[in-house]
Structure 1
Amino acid sequence: MFIAQQLFALPGIFALMLVDFSSLGSGSEAEVMNSLDSHPWIFLLTQGGGTIGGMLITLLLWKFMNKRTLKDLGFRGILKDLGFGLLLGALSIFVIFVLLYVTGNAKLLNTFTTPEFSTYTVTFLILFIIVGFSEEMFFRGYVMSTMANRGNPRWLMYVVSAVVFSLAHGMNPNVSILGLVNIALVGVLFAYMFIATNSLWLPIGYHITWNYFQGNVFGFAVSGITPHGIYNVSVEGGNDLLTGGAFGLEGGLLATLLIVLGYFVTRMYAKNKVQA
């Protein structure tokens, strides 16, 4: 998977060489990331390409090694699950923003009536859709289904999926202990969504809008990644335990609270779905 990600990211690296070879020649990872960040379409080509590479390897392993179908991977059920996931992810971030805003821990630098749309608004929407599909296909669909097929207990499936998911974010910029704990917790939530609905659609939807509304609507960092929101939010002077500081909302206690609430909302949704 790692090799495939690097190979599929090469077109973006070649494109960056054409427009800003000096950043690659510097040998500095920070210089390269800054250059990528200033070229949103190349960033999408690099990061999105690498993510697609990982997704394709997941599908190939599932088909030829596990010898199972897409339906077995988790692409079953109704698209209503996707819609509810999209709504729940967006609402969770909105609630965190409102709580930070009314308590003075976050300041809005432009007004609600003057959103600042840009190329990043589109490129990161595409990127986070790809990321939502890819990460849920692997960490929930592939890992958990493979473990289930081999007779592992459910609690172990939850733990392994969540811990591996958290460790995969361990090299992100400005990472924090609470951030990794929250990523593990949201991994458990995604796993519960997958088990409760017997489908990947709900965690995919939640994953997409959880990321997108953080970084590209409200302008918070997403797991340490530079934000480009239609609204510009400053957390300077706020309590890092609540805001997550430079790592973003996932490094704060409000994210912990909303992740836990997400479990109860999912439980009610799944229960009503069964009764219907």
Structure 2
Amino acid sequence: MFIKQAFNYQYQFWRYIIGVIIIFIAVILGQIPFGVALFLKEGIGVSKLTETEMMQVLDSNLSLFLMLLTFAVGLGGVFFVSKVLHNQPIKGLTTTRKKIDWRRFFFAFGLVAIFAIATTLLDYLANPENYLFNFQLVPFLILVVIAIVMVPLQTSFEEYLFRGYLMQGIGVFVKNKWLPLILTSVIFGSLHFFNPEVTKLGNIIMIYYIGTGFMLGVMTLMDEGMELALGFHAGNNLITALLVTADWTAFQTNSILKDISEPTAGWNVIIPVFIVYPIFLYIMGKKYGWSNWKQKLFGRVEKPRMLNHLSDS
């Protein structure tokens, strides 16, 4: 009933159109500090730099902070429009439960963190020539502080925008669950098209981004709340930022390791989406007793009868 509960608030579709515009403006405003810092450093020539080159102009910790600040401001925009335009509290945008279940958040966080650490360690042991030991104590400690504070804000912005605000807004408009799941997943993945990873690996990487969007959307609909998706996304990005960096990734960090191999995209894109992600969903489904998958993913979204009666009167 995660989508359906949007009917309890101001859910007219025009409010969502204005809300998206306000959120977009908030993101643009959040980019200003990074743009100013780059301009002060590079001058007019900054306009000719690629995204990867922009991340390398400033100190990596400063670049990371300023980049993530964009998403923090965007998150504030989502909360603002939810409260002001829709009279919807954060809990109503997050979950159907009586209160936000942080145990779910940390379970998903821990699950993906353990997986990321284990697979990185195994790959490092199997292919040490592909990695450079990048650890420097002081820059790393600064990175830890920035990442712990800012990365969850970045991932929460994406989750609250796509799995929360847009999932509910599209769902109450089209009156079903499958279309908002598809649209939010495709839009979420498509917005990563301009990431440097796509330039380096090719369009096949979009399977990973869109597939990740689908998995997070399925988590949200099956669990009737965003806690698992919030924790999973935060854990994945945070551990990645701390463990491994590369010259061709969106996150340029003072991480423990630096991947110096020549990247390729193939089975390493397909396997996570079609094998690893279903395993994650299976584990969560068993733990939280998910059932009635067809109804929860493809069912109708009906306005509650009481609200129909009130609107008719």
Query: Which TM-score tier does this pair reach, normalised by the shorter chain?
Result: 0.7 to 0.9
2:33 maps to 1:11: yes
Partner in structure 1 of residue 233 of structure 2: 207
Larger deviation, residues 6-15 vs 125-134:
6-15
Q: How does 1:230-241 map to 2 (within 5 A)?
A: 230-236=256-262, 240-241=265-266
Residues 140 and 23 from structure 1, CA distance in 2 versus in 1: closer, same or farther, beyond 3 angstroms?
same
Is the 1:220–1:229 Cα contact (8 Å) retained in structure 2? Answer: no
SS in 2 for 1:27: helix
Is the 1:23–1:32 Cα contact (8 Å) retained in structure 2? Answer: no
2:82 maps to 1:47: no
Q: Which digits, 9 at most, give the CA deviation of each residue in 1:150-180, with x for residues without a partner?
A: 3532111210110010011111113032321
Q: How does 1:153-168 map to 2 (within 5 A)?
A: 153-168=176-191
Instruction: Output the amino acid matched with 2:194.
Output: M
Is the 2:55–2:63 Cα contact (8 Å) retained in structure 1? Answer: no
SS in 2 for 1:232: strand
2:297 maps to 1:271: no
Residues 163 and 239 from structure 1, CA distance in 2 versus in 1: closer, same or farther, beyond 3 angstroms?
closer
Of the two, which has the highest radius of gyration? 2
Deviation at 1:116, TM superposition (A): 3.9
2:259 maps to 1:260: no
TM-score (norm: length of structure 2): 0.71
Residues 153 and 6 from structure 1, CA distance in 2 versus in 1: closer, same or farther, beyond 3 angstroms?
same
Residues 155 and 103 from structure 1, CA distance in 2 versus in 1: closer, same or farther, beyond 3 angstroms?
farther
State the superposition RMSD in angstroms.
2.9
Instruction: Output the amino acid matched with 2:208.
Output: N
Deviation at 1:223, TM superposition (A): 5.8
Higher relative contact order (CA 8 A, sep 6+): 2
Q: How many residues in Structure 1 have an aligned counterpart in Structure 2?
A: 257
Partner in structure 2 of residue 186 of structure 1: 212
Between the aligned residues of both structures, percent identity stands at 18
Larger deviation, residues 182-191 vs 121-130:
121-130
Is the 1:4–1:53 Cα contact (8 Å) retained in structure 2? Answer: yes
What are structure 1's unaligned runs of at least 5 residues? 244-251
2:128 and 2:162 map into 1 onto residues whose CA distance is 33
Residues 223 and 209 from structure 1, CA distance in 2 versus in 1: closer, same or farther, beyond 3 angstroms?
farther
TM-score (norm: length of structure 1): 0.79
2:75 maps to 1:58: no
User: Which of 217, 221, 226 is residue 195 of structure 1 equivalent to?
Assistant: 221
Residues 207 and 166 from structure 1, CA distance in 2 versus in 1: closer, same or farther, beyond 3 angstroms?
same
What are structure 2's unaligned runs of at least 5 residues? 1-22, 292-313
